[in-house]
Amino acid sequence: LYITKLISEGETKFWTRDKGTEVRNKILSEFELSGESILVIDFTGVEIVDFSFASEVVAISVSRLAKELSGKHILIRGMNKSVEENVSVAIERAALCVLIYEDENAWKLIGKYSDALLTTFKLIKDLKKTDTPTLAEKLNSTIPVMNNRLRALTDLGLVIKEESSAPSGGKQYNYYCII
Amino acid sequence: LFFRVHNVLNRESFVDLSDHLQKNVDEIFNTNNIEVDLSDIRFSEPAGIVGLIIFTRFLYNEYGIKSIIKMPNNVEAHKYLLNAGITKDKGVITEFENINNSMYLQTILNKLGIAGNKTTSVNFIAVTDIVSEEDIKNVNKKFEDWMVDNNYSEEEKNDLQVLVSELCQNISQHSETVQNGVFLMQGYTYKSLGDEKRCIISIGDTGIGIKGSLDKKKKINEAARWEDDYTIRMVLKNGLSSKEDDQFRGNGFFNLQRLAKKHNLNFYIHSHGGLFYCEYSESKLSKKIQQTIYPIKGTQVSFELRTKKHK
């Protein structure tokens, strides 16, 4: 885990897209240098963020998990009600979602996601390690449908995808929940 | 050629000015001047002041016409307009008649911090340029002070500061404004309404307007066919962004609508030839006006916040 605290430099109120870009660039470059795979953005002590700041720091970072940050993951924690509302709107407007994780019993997704995606995520979390056929069977669905959901969850950085060799000699993928 | 504002300078005065321009456009161009007569007014609201600034700047930017503003005869109204910053563009864009020079001097001294009676009340923020992040933080801090003084909850303070921040950022990031964007705030206490407090904030620019911004980036193909008033309606509803290839922007107006509903705000938007006004009460839309006017380049957003429920 690489944990970054937003208030580390003493500020508790964060405004504007420019400030968000500056903070995001700093966080992501330090995260990449750390070599860790999970970034925890800790909002503890932050009083307020506007939508533009939230969009730059959270929504754009999450969107990059499907591209240049592929294989990395993002968690959020420590948000007060107001900050959570603004981050939620920012990420929902970008048609993305992110995981808020406080502890094993206090986690939730915020943003835009379907019930089916949430159900699949919960099942992966319960199973610890799984694969497409298992999920399809347990959710009474098909492998193509499951593959689509797993691709979405992987692009959002909510699951870890690991390649292994199938008994038949081909490739197969196992999936782990990030929490 | 002159236009007289009667009694109150408010957002409706801007509509009247636009009508006046439409009816007399040839004469205004022929004489190359216009006088806005405020001698009769007794009261000014932020939307009226910012609207007048946008109007005079538009005439100058588009046609090189200098406006003459005749100041109020009423002493308090006169003093208020000077303190609010009505003379901001004095010189190239506007000239003033009937100006009380002793009051004017006092205003200049106040602004320089020389005079002893400089106002420190958070009930009022005079016309302030919005250019940088620092400007946004500064006006937001003063707005927060006003809300603290008037017993707003943390949630309300946070939401409304976010709104001010987003609307101010629209100016610096999207508007391509010719002159700097401006911010003006005034708090009021209504004795007749049991000391109900209200606050009006008005933010304006002389830029390309909401539709111009969308058209330029060709983000929304069908927007090219939209009228200005319909464009305002659509950005309020959908939060459309003018930034190409960027799904993360364009939340300012969407959030204005959302927060208006949540906090029972009244708000007003002018953008070029479109006007939109909404009133919310008990989290429901209680009044809506959508209209077209003679196009005056720029965008103005004003909203009113009431504190009755805190009393």
Instruction: Verify whether the Cβ–Cβ distance A15 to B137 is below 8 Å.
Output: yes
> Looking at residue B243, what is its pLDDT?
47
Provide the 8-state DSSP code for A55. I
What are the backbone dihedrals phi and psi of residue B161, each rounded to the nearest 5 degrees, phi first? -65, -40
Low-confidence ranges of chain A (pLDDT < 50): none
pLDDT digits (tens, 9 = 90+) for B253-309: 888 888 899 999 999 999 999 999 999 988 899 999 999 999 999 999 999 988 755
Q: What is the mean pLDDT of chain B?
A: 86
Nearest to A133 by CA among A146, A149, A148: A146
Reply yes or no on whether the pLDDT at B251 is more than 90.
no
Closest approach of B118 to chain A, Cα-based (Å): 29
Q: With beta carbons under 8 A apart, name residues in chain A contacting B240.
A: none
**Dihedral (Cα; B215, B216, B220, B223), 10-degree rounding:** 0
Mutate to test the interface with A, among B132, B142, B174, B251 (most CBs of A within 10 A): B251
Q: With beta carbons under 8 A apart, name residues in chain B contacting A57.
A: none
Nearest to B21 by CA among B44, B2, B46, B45: B2
Question: Token digits for B260?
Answer: 């208006």
Nearest to B205 by CA among B272, B106, B263: B272
Asked if A84 is an interface residue toward chain B (Cβ–Cβ < 8 A), one would say: no
The ipTM value here is: 0.71
Task: For residues B212 and B298, give the distance between their C-alpha atoms in angstroms, rounded to a whole number.
Answer: 10
HSE at residue B74, side-chain half, CA atoms within 13 A, is 16
Q: With beta carbons under 8 A apart, name residues in chain B contacting A93.
A: 239, 247-248, 250-251, 254
Closest approach of A47 to chain B, Cα-based (Å): 8
Higher pLDDT, B249 or A138: A138
Residue indicated by tokens 């330090």: A30
Residue B242 to residues B44, B49, B139, B219, B252, Cα–Cα distance (Å): 33, 28, 25, 6, 11
Provide the 8-state DSSP code for B72. P
Closest approach of B169 to chain A, Cα-based (Å): 7
Verdict on whether the full-model pTM lies above 0.80: yes
Residue indicated by tokens 């986690």: A107
> Looking at residue B115, what is its pLDDT?
53
Residue B13's pLDDT band, with cuts at 50, 70 and 90, is very high
Reply yes or no on whether the pLDDT at B121 is more than 60.
no
B190-229 burial, b for 16+ CB within 10 Å, e for fewer? eeeeeebbbbbbbbbbbbbbbbbbbbebebbeebeebebb
Averaged pLDDT, B187-202: 85
Cβ B277 vs Cβ B14: under 8 Å: no
> Looking at residue B250, what is its pLDDT?
59
Q: Find the range with the poorest average confidence among B11-20, B27-36, B39-48, B108-117.
A: B108-117
In the three-class reduction of DSSP (H, G, I as helix; E, B as strand; rest coil), residue B151 is classed as coil
Size of interface A-B (CB pairs under 8 A): 64
**What proportion of chain B, given as a percentage, has pLDDT over 90?**
48
